[in-house]
Amino acid sequence: MTVSRRAVTAAGLALLASACSPARKDAAPGLAKLKLATDWRGQAELGGYYQAVATGEFTKRGLDVSIVQGGPGVNVPQLLATGAVDIGVGSNSFIVLNLAKEGVPVKAVAAYMDKDPQVLIAHPGQGIASIADMKGKPILLSDASVTAFWVWLKAKHGFTDAQVRKYNYSVAPFLADKSLIQQGYATSEPYLIEKAGGEKPAVFLLADDGYPAYASFALVTDQMIAERPAQVQAISDAIAAGWKSYLYGDAGPGDAAILKDNPEMTQDLLDQARDKMRSYGIVPKDGIGAMTDARWAQFFDVAADQGVYDKGLDYKKAYSLAFLPK
């Protein structure tokens, strides 16, 4: 399931050997060969990265980029910090701030999803018209989510840990019990639930309730920023161009690459996910990749107030605004 992308464990290095796709060998002479690690298997939520490779956005900027497909337990920041890959995808804002908390020499240089696609999903007809209405009700959450967006929900709406039920990345428990609410991605679980249960669920995007997180970050090492800043800018620009093309142009090249990398993916799931990213404004048509200090400060303050981070943490070490897409 898409949502399990949010789990990050030290098992990532062990999985690298089996997850790594071989670097392309057809690169033109003079191109810098780089590896880009995604945070999950090929899917539309990674479409901009695949599109940038497939349409030559990296190549025209002097880079030969091959994708290292992610999966359960892959720790992208660790792969970057150890030099196993050159570029990484960061799933959410907590992962980025954890870089500063843990002293990892990796930074986010662009945020391609202006809204985190995280949603809460309820059954219709249960008296739930907003996220606030979910207070006191049972909610299926993964362990990773309890230490991530759940922190914000408790701060804003007074939710309590007594509401938490274990989420095992299956929609079956939700379908079997109309009193349950579950986490998901706007681009994935609602569609799967509707297909499996024959009923359109009630979907609530956390971002539309004020959740200030970004998502889908381009991550690079501090060393790369210091030694190869032009490459960092090229990476940031190429991925932004890939996202614009994938969502607002011809998505065919990216979809073909995704389907080749991930045989379990289907075209219908890709199509509806792109539609959701557009309709929810998850990846905007203009200003793709932008970040601001003010938005990061807002996110950090909420998390620090809830004890996730020390209030004295220099959280700005986790990102750079110097390489936002041009």
* pLDDT over 90 at 23, yes or no: no
pLDDT of amino acid 157: 96
- What is the rounded CA–CA span in Å between residue 75 and residue 37? 9
pLDDT of amino acid 14: 33
Q: Please state the pTM of the whole predicted model.
A: 0.90
The answer to whether domain 2-115+213-318 and domain 118-209 are alike in fold is yes
pLDDT of amino acid 28: 60
Q: Does domain 118-209 have CATH number 3.30.565.10?
A: no
pLDDT of amino acid 72: 82
pLDDT of amino acid 8: 39
pLDDT of amino acid 13: 32
Amino acid at 283: V
- Looking at every residue in the chain, the average pLDDT score rounds to 91
What residue spans of the chain are helical by DSSP H? Answer: 12-19, 47-54, 76-81, 93-102, 143-146, 149-157, 172-176, 189-197, 222-227, 229-248, 252-261, 267-279, 293-305
73-77, 120-124, 192-196, 269-273: the lowest-pLDDT one: 73-77
* pLDDT over 70 at 22, yes or no: no
pLDDT digits (tens, 9 = 90+) for 205-254: 999 999 999 999 999 999 999 999 999 999 999 999 999 999 999 999 99
pLDDT of amino acid 73: 79
Domain 2-115+213-318 sits in which CATH superfamily?
A: Periplasmic binding protein-like II (3.40.190.10)
Do residues 261 and 21 lie in contact, with contact meaning Cβ atoms separated by under 8 Å?
A: yes
- What is the rounded CA–CA span in Å between residue 119 and residue 121? 6
Do residues 74 and 37 lie in contact, with contact meaning Cβ atoms separated by under 8 Å?
A: yes
At 45, the pLDDT band (50, 70, 90 cuts) reads very high
> Residue ranges of the domains in the chain?
2-115+213-318, 118-209
User: What value does the mean pLDDT take over residues 5-9?
Assistant: 40
User: What value does the mean pLDDT take over residues 7-15?
Assistant: 35
14-23, 86-95, 147-156, 263-272: the lowest-pLDDT one: 14-23
Q: Mention every residue, 6+ apart, whose C-beta is less than 8 A from residue 257.
A: 42, 50, 51, 53, 54, 67
